[in-house]
Chains A and B, each alone.
Chain A
Amino acid sequence: MGKTFKTIDEAVIRFAGDSGDGMQLTGGRFTETTAIVGNDLSTLPDFPAEIRAPAGSLAGVSAFQLKFSSKDIHTPGDKPDVLVAMNPAALKVHQKDLIPGGTMIINTDAFVKKNLNFAGYESNPIEDGSLDDYFTVIPIEMNKMVKAACEGLDLNGKLVLRTKNFFALGVLFYMYDRPLDATENWLKKKFAGKDAIIEANTKAMHAGYNYADTTEIFTTRYKVEKASLPAGTYRNINGNLATSLGLLAASERSGLDIFLGSYPITPASDILHTLSTWKHFGVKTFQAEDEIAGVTSAIGAAYSGNLAVTTTSGPGIALKGEAIGLAIMTELPLVVINVQRGGPSTGLPTKTEQSDLNQALYGRNGEAPMPVIAAATPGDCFYAAYEACRVAITHMTPVMLLTDGYLANGSEPWNIPEVKELDPIEVNFADKLNADGDFLPYMRDEKTLARPWAIPGTPELEHRVGGIETAENTGHVSYDPENHHKMVTLRQEKVERVKNDLPKTEIFGENSGDLLILSWGGTYGACRSAAETLQEQGNKVSHVHIRWISPLPKDLGEILIHFKNILIPEINLGQLLRLIRSEYLVDAKGLNLVRGRPIGAATIVETVKNTLG
């Protein structure tokens, strides 16, 4: 109807509203539909720590950002093109992020005096013209619209008003030409038996779609074509689900049942929730009385021969430190998962950060080395979790897996792997005495230095393990100075030998150049995007991403010396930076922003350009 379609490569949209407005759900629906349409995408949920902050307050604003594209993308985008603001507080918090000239879709019905005051507006920004110079403002009376749409339904007024997020969703579906049927089906499943709710939300969504269609406010609609991703079957996945699936795949490939000992903590709890639904896979989940019981029960289960896992976030790792040392001392396979959040102390529970690297590497008493792997993207959490299990079992050691709040809750399309094609995980329980009729629980494999895994129930291999220093081979308590030095050295060497298991480090770009962006963990996407942009602009910039931080890859030192500059972007004050500088004596520089949010690709591009002059 007189509207033109414009094809664009990518778009960034952000839904923002009060905690009670259902913004996460709305973002989730848009994401699923966008995935089905075949775009590449990346999401950034951003919600407050309070379950229900006072309605209308700045603290209670919840947002969901999504970037989708016809190209291969790596980040949820820096600045949105479209902002949906369901109330004044949401507008206040997020308007500064919108690109100049961006579109604001605003629920004007929420812009009443009380809410405006609460958000700190002296006058109504929609009416005082303060936005018009910078943005395209589309005011919609959403409350009124959904009331009209739901007229005649057997539903009270409060519930009717709750559907306004689906109205906003309908508007966005229209703008970006997305189908409504996936959401309709989802509603039917989600609210099965509650027909009035299904109908109200469906009507609200259609009302939004039709409103956008019939009014003159939108002159242009946008088309984002399918992305040309590598062939395969895809699904949309977030990091916590991918982590859970990775563990389950490792359980299947190793033939070991999972034991998860865990204490609820944001943002890791979803792994506990998810694994708890997989009892039919033999998964044992134990919600422990505290973080320490979470890890110690897992150590007990490892001793008994399960694939033992404990999940938590930074504060939980602090509590588990002594027990992780016990797992190092007893040389038992254990996967410790830290979904990092803002710290220290309670910090920013729902925000992301990379500030637990030092804790992962050094946060225990004594010389207590353990392998540390970090996931790069939401989908990569699957492979990182799988790898963590494989190394823990093959090398008989606890392994720390670092993900973060952004990876855990963010999502992306994921090319579903074949479980049977993953690297095998071999489990060799000890089942007989040595040739000389003895059993030495600390005798080592020549290649990996792993000790045998003899589990209770195995005849003749009765033995004792513990946290006191053990004598080489026999595992008896030993206070001998020479033995202690030897064991400390052996435990370090054992971790170093994981190196032999790691693939060659991949370099994105040339093997030498003016600058190397070096990254770990969740900053992968922003660094890769930045490198792409910089390379397109003709800069001699490459990108290396490392998954294992302990031990560091064998070939890393050799790679680093071929670049004039090294830049390490991190959401901390330079934890990998200091490690790289001390390990390789190179003059690496950091880009360190600790705001509880991912570092934007644009910021990295800018920093690289400044460095190169």
Chain B
Amino acid sequence: MSEIKETQLTKKDFVSDQAVRWCPGCGDYAILAQAQKQMPTFGRKKEDIVFVSGIGCSSRFPYYMNTYGFHSIHGRAPALATGVKIANPDLSVWVVTGDGDGLSIGGNHFMHALRRNMDLNILMFNNRIYGLTKGQYSPTSEVGKVTKATPYGSIDIPLNPPSLALGAQATFVARTIDRWQKHLAEMMEKSYNHDGGSFVEIYQNCNIFNDGAFEEYTGSEKFDNVIDLKHGEPMLFAKDTKGIKLDGSTAMVVEMEKHSIDDILIHDETNLDLAHIIANWTSNPDLPEPIGVIYCIDKPTYNQDMVDQINFAKEKKGEGSVQDLLNAGDTWTVS
């Protein structure tokens, strides 16, 4: 046998031959580039990676990744990916979805995939708008949003994706931002390394229908408005000039000039109560927007439990014989 040379894959290997068709300037480009860059670093073979998506701008993603891919139907990507993973648990399965796809029409599947701790990496591109259908408000759009469907402003109360994910018993909840390239890469890597269902919300700018939705977190003031959570470290932001202090369960921003580091809340990504508190800071004008890993714990996965159950049954009963099963029970012979 001739020796097979292990060649190190590069970003290029993950670029498919399809022309990318997002609007110029769309935040999706940055996310795609990061995914193509990160994939080779995981050390997985290309053929063992599957991207599954639903419908929406973000859901075109699999076409551009030179891996196995499935562009399914609106909202159903987590359910379809569940079948892919159960059928072959050795695959690395990624779900690309958006705020409309994942939280509106597909809210049910999103919730159940997370509560089962199905080992899927769910990347949700949240642009707080419907892009592909040309600009209706989404389940994460702010109250009062004026769109074609809401000329007098939206009266829907938006969902907070990390809170929803935590409520659904997710074992990994993180948030990042399209323009924070290094951070985005880090979250993808952490998601990949988490053994279990992981949810990464990515704030993504739709420059056509909701431009600047995340300007506060990407513009010149970004460090004042965003807190990047680090497990085991005090919660500092604004270039360490500000910190977060907890009064009971209420968080407040304090100036570090006037406070000791000992007053500052330490992030513990394994603390569910804390995770709920942090998730609630979302869109709170008095608090910085939390990004990073909000919550991460280890729990048995559905896919592994299923493998174990099948092995257990085989051990207990022996590999089944279909013919014996057919002949089981009360039978009689006619000659």
Contact = CB atoms under 8 A, between A and B. Distances in A.
A303 B70 contact: yes
Contacts of A455: 88
B319 interface: yes
B315 to A, nearest CB: 8
B111 to A, nearest CB: 8
B71 A234 contact: no
A36 B331 CA distance: 7
**7 shortest interchain CB distances as A-B pairs:** A300-B83, A466-B71, A304-B87, A297-B83, A279-B313, A293-B79, A464-B69
Contacts of A293: 76, 79, 82, 108-109, 112
B322 A235 contact: no
Interface string A278-303: 11111110101110110011111111
Contact of A416 (B62, B67, B91, B326): B326
A460 interface: yes
Nearest to B326: A416
A582 interface: no
Contacts of A259: 83, 86-87
B329 to A, nearest CB: 6
A457 B91 contact: yes
Contact of B76 (A232, A234, A292, A418): A292
A462 B86 CA distance: 19
A476 interface: yes
Nearest to A310: B83
Nearest to A418: B323
24 contacts: A228-B334, A231-B335, A257-B87, A280-B314, A282-B314, A293-B79, A300-B70, A304-B84, A305-B87, A322-B73, A326-B72, A330-B70, A416-B326, A416-B331, A456-B49, A456-B88, A462-B66, A464-B18, A464-B63, A465-B70, A466-B69, A467-B55, A467-B72, A467-B73
Interface string A459-476: 111111111100000001
Contacts of B48: 456-457
B218 to A, nearest CB: 31
B320 interface: yes
A249 interface: yes
Interface in B113-154: none
Given A233-B331, A284-B306, A456-B50, A466 B80 contact: no
A323 interface: yes
A299 B72 contact: yes
A382 to B, nearest CB: 9
B294 interface: no
B70 A297 contact: no
Contacts of A234: 331-334
A462 B46 contact: yes
Interface in A297-350: 297-306, 308, 322-323, 326, 330
A457 B73 CA distance: 23
Contacts of B87: 257, 259, 284, 300-306, 308
A477 B18 contact: yes
A456 B82 contact: no
A297 B309 CA distance: 19
Nearest to A415: B334
A261 interface: yes
B317 A464 contact: no
A3 B275 CA distance: 81
A301 B83 contact: yes
B24 interface: no
Contacts of B312: 279
A304 B55 CA distance: 21
B73 A326 contact: yes
A300 B331 contact: no
A251 to B, nearest CB: 8
A417 interface: yes
B330 to A, nearest CB: 6
A233 B332 contact: yes
Contact of B68 (A245, A286, A456): A456
A236 interface: yes
B262 interface: no
Nearest to A234: B332
Contact of A279 (B63, B309, B332): B309
Contacts of B309: 279
Contacts of A600: none
A466 B52 CA distance: 9
A419 interface: yes
Nearest to B84: A300
Contacts of A322: 73
A14 to B, nearest CB: 23
A466 B72 contact: yes
Contacts of B50: 304, 456
A280 B316 contact: yes
